[in-house]
């Protein structure tokens, strides 16, 4: 079965257009509800969202769809994606739903689905849901309709869950921490967790208005956080994205530390304590060669997957690894979570800083990354990567770098883009290769 609605991280697009309309998500809810209706028990779905204006449209549409097929609904309100995954398991729900477009601008929105085990659905299950959407909905009789209610203590449950992941006996007393919540789903929980663990907190991005999520702030635009770290003399800065499953850090000098460095830090700390499993960590094809070489020096492996934290998690489960993630800051620590959790990852970084007795800049920079350049080519349909001229130029670029670098070309799973990336020791050389590939792909794409 083929997936058309679902991308690398659920359904995503412009709100009130295409796949992200009230009508479509109503159908998704009815199909997903039917897919996960198994047995004679009272079936339950939990729904969380971020702070986008369009969440007010999609939440009731989803609720109506699930109720129509006989599922009870628990509404969580604005809450991080990993909180929904946790509560799906905690409440013994049959399905978890997050209304979010993650790091995208407010105009976009989307749907992420979690199974009863708290893990994102496989490609096969998503394809099965799409197939059900093509058939008449399996509506419940009037006496079997579901009911909806709100879980008033959802925020408190997640706060306590996150705090339990911090090593016992440690506190954040004496640390000044800037935390940028991107005007998104973590705007209440993140500052609260840090404060209750003892930190002096400088909160940013905690005034969502439905349209300012990720706007010039958060993990994808960390400059605001970087400047605040320096201005306030903070020890460290933390930036989350709109649904708080992504983490970017800044040291006390305001310099950014990406997901590759953070994964290396956690993996080394857990290796030293005997907690690391699987003989290495799982990351995507986007992670820097510098990370791979650093891990080799620790006698650890780097297992690569396609882009998407769902694929990272699948590989982690297969290999029994408990550390994985993406360069972009999705970090999965499976001792605690089933998906990326920016706040839990941040606490592990903070624990490493505290236990070392050194500054964040000394602790979080473990290797020198190789120069890596990525550019995007916007496309309007078509398949330029299948063109023989494009394939020939890609192979030529790979041959030019040999073992001294990498070339990676892929379609985005969330936007109409082709991403062109190269890395190697010679920055000028990889820059020229990327520019040439971008020009070639763009020319073919324009011809249709």
Q: Where are the alpha helices (DSSP H) in 256-320?
A: 259-273, 289-297, 309-319
Length of the chain: 448
278, 256 contact by CB (below 8 A): no
Distances (CA, A) of 183 to 241, 255, 428: 9, 22, 38
Looking at the annotation, which residues are catalytic?
A: 102
Other C-beta atoms lying within 10 Å of the C-beta of residue 281: 31
Q: Are 429 and 435 in contact (CB under 8 A)?
A: no
Residue 441, classified by CB atoms within 10 Å of its CB into exposed (0-12), middle (13-18) or buried (19+), is buried
Rounded Cα–Cα distance for residues 296 and 124 (Å) = 34
Rounded to an integer, what distance in angstroms lies between the CA atom of residue 35 and that of residue 50?
A: 25
Two tokens, residue 77: 């309100």
Q: Distance (Å, rounded) from C-alpha 260 to C-alpha 328?
A: 8
The rounded distance, in Å, linking the Cα atoms of 175 and 201 is: 8
């Amino acid at each position: 079965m083929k997936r058309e609605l679902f991308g690398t991280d659920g359904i995503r697009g412009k709100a009130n257009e295409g796949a992200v309309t009230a009508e479509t998500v109503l159908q998704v809810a009815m199909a997903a509800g039917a897919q996960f209706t198994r047995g004679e028990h009272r079936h339950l779905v939990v729904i969380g969202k971020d702070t986008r204006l369009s969440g007010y449209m999609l939440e009731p549409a989803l609720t109506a769809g699930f109720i129509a097929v006989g599922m009870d609904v628990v509404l969580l309100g604005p809450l991080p994606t990993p909180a929904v995954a946790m509560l799906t398991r905690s409440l013994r729900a049959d399905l978890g739903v997050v209304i979010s477009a993650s790091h995208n601008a407010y105009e976009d929105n989307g749907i992420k689905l979690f199974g009863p085990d708290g893990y994102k659905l496989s490609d096969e299950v998503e394809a099965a849901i799409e197939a059900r959407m093509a058939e008449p909905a399996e509506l419940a009789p009037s006496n079997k309709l579901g009911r909806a209610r709100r879980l008033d203590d959802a925020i408190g449950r997640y706060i306590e869950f996150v705090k339990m992941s911090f090593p016992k006996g440690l506190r954040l007393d004496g640390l000044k921490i800037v935390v940028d919540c991107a005007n998104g789903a973590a705007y209440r929980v993140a500052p609260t967790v840090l404060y209750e663990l003892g930190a002096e907190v400088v909160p940013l991005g905690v005034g969502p208005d439905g349209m300012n999520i990720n706007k010039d702030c958060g993990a994808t635009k960390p400059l605001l956080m970087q400047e605040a770290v320096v201005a306030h003399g903070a020890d460290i800065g933390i930036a989350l994205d709109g649904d708080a499953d992504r983490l970017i850090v800044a040291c006390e000098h305001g310099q950014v530390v990406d997901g590759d460095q953070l994964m290396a830090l956690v993996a080394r700390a857990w290796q030293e304590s005997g907690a690391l499993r699987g003989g290495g960590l799982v990351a995507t094809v986007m992670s820097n060669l510098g990370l791979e070489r650093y891990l080799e020096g620790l006698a650890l492996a780097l297992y690569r997957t396609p882009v998407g934290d769902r694929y990272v998690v699948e590989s982690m489960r297969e290999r029994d690894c408990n550390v994985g993630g993406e360069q972009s800051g999705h970090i999965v620590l499976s001792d605690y979570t089933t998906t990326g959790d920016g706040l839990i990852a941040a606490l592990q970084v903070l624990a490493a800083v505290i236990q070392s007795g050194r500054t964040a800049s000394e602790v979080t920079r473990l290797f020198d990354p190789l120069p890596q350049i990525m550019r995007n080519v916007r496309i309007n349909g078509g398949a330029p990567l299948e063109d023989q001229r494009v394939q020939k130029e890609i192979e030529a670029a790979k041959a030019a770098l040999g073992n001294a670098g990498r070339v990676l070309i892929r379609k985005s799973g969330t936007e109409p883009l082709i991403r062109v990336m190269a890395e190697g020791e010679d920055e000028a050389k990889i820059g020229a290769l990327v520019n040439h590939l971008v020009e070639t792909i763009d020319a073919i794409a324009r011809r249709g």
